Amino acid sequence: MLERQQAQVNLDYESFKRKVKASYGLDLGAYKQPQMERRLRANMDRCGAHSFVDYYNRMQRDPVLLDEFLDRVTINVSELFRNPEMFEVLRTKILPELSCKSRAISVWSAGCSYGAEPYTLAVLLDELNLKFGYSILATDIDDRMLARATRGVFTEPEMRNVAKHRLLKYFNRLTDGYEAKDNIKSRITFKKHNLLEERFGLGYDLIVCRNVVIYFTEQAKSGLYRKFYDSLKPGGYLFVGGTERVTDHLEIGYETPLPFFYRKPASN
């Protein structure tokens, strides 16, 4: 009896995955199933859905449920200068190394959510006063997050790690938060992109993908890190989150000069 019930649950979830991929381009097969099921069941319980397919049908009729689902899957939690000590390493070691090259620095913020990460990067790059400038591409799968990121508006808690001199130089004070000034807002290009489905660009000096792959399967992570490697210029860096590791970095070809920073070897 229990085996039959579990088989029915598995069929229900498989059908749900197919419908979600067809409708929203999200491949839930790349996420660890037990963790994803637990996350989604909380949503299902709140709306009274008795199966995953029932939950999908309810999402189709209720935009609020759909938004909650997308938030669960895409994990839109961040803040500027999240893990400040890691961004200090980026500021003092990685970016100066990249700036020594006689060309503009090209950066990709992958899975940028509502923009905290790319605006942090823009602040740090602007402070370098680069001779050849820089460009930042910020991508995410969630249209709602990209719309917010484009506005560059953040709450007080999301700005708690931003130093006072940076607040004054790069942000305008609002009644209940801050808005990025044009001097950094104009340097970021926001674009919709599905990391699991679409092709990657080439020629990046720095790719930042932090706290995005936490629920991905090991196979999906490995494939993603390999594609990031191919997208980097020789000598370029991949910057990952504080709880993340590229476990097969040697097999892929990365060097590991510093924790959480993986370098594609420079050309001889």
pLDDT score recorded for residue 124: 97
- Put simply, whether the predicted model's pTM sits higher than 0.75 gets the answer yes
Distance CA 87, CA 94 (A): 10
Distance CA 260, CA 241 (A): 7
User: What are the angstrom distances between the C-alpha of 145 and each of 97, 192, 221, 227?
Assistant: 32, 10, 22, 24
pLDDT score recorded for residue 119: 98
pLDDT score recorded for residue 105: 95
Structure tokens of 123? 């602040």
Q: What angle do CA 40, 44, 45 make, to 5 degrees?
A: 120
Residue 172, judged by CB atoms within 10 A of its CB (0-12, 13-18, 19+), counts as middle
CA-wise closest residue to 155 among 178, 136, 125, 182? 178
Strands 232-240 and 204-209: parallel
Mean pLDDT for each 10-residue chunk of the chain (268 residues)?
Answer: 60 86 77 81 88 89 82 73 93 93 90 94 94 93 91 94 96 94 95 93 96 84 95 96 87 94 87
pLDDT score recorded for residue 77: 63
